């Protein structure tokens, strides 16, 4: 059980890091002003939302497992 929790925490940190990376990349792309159509911005936003969703699902799994181990 502890190894599963450790793996989930590692996955959570990776998802959070990916979210932060995409957020910063999107901000830099927006600040450069080169993308007139906004397609690149939309791509960054979609990736960020995806990574945030993955992180939330991992947090939910960690909380469910923590509750199951107590009960």
Tens of pLDDT along the chain (71 residues) come to: 678 889 999 999 999 999 999 999 998 888 888 876 788 889 999 999 999 999 999 999 999 998 888 86
DSSP assignment string, 21-62: HHHHHHHHHHHHT--SS-HHHHHHHHHHHHHHHHHHHHHHHH
Stated as kind and residue range, the H or E segment containing 1 is: none
CA dihedral 48, 51, 57, 63 (to 10 degrees): -100
Q: Which domain holds residue 60?
A: 2-70
Report residue 6 as tokens.
Answer: 């450790």
pTM of the predicted model, to two decimals?
Answer: 0.84
How many structural domains compose the chain?
1
Stated as kind and residue range, the H or E segment containing 17 is: helix 2-32
């Amino acid at each position: 059980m502890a190894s599963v929790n450790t793996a989930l925490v590692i996955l959570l940190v990776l998802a959070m890091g990916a979210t932060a990376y995409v957020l910063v990349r999107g901000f830099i792309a927006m600040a450069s002003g080169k993308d007139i159509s906004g397609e690149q911005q939309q791509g960054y936003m979609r990736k960020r939302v995806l990574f945030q969703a993955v992180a939330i699902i991992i947090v939910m799994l960690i909380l469910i497992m923590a509750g199951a181990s107590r009960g």
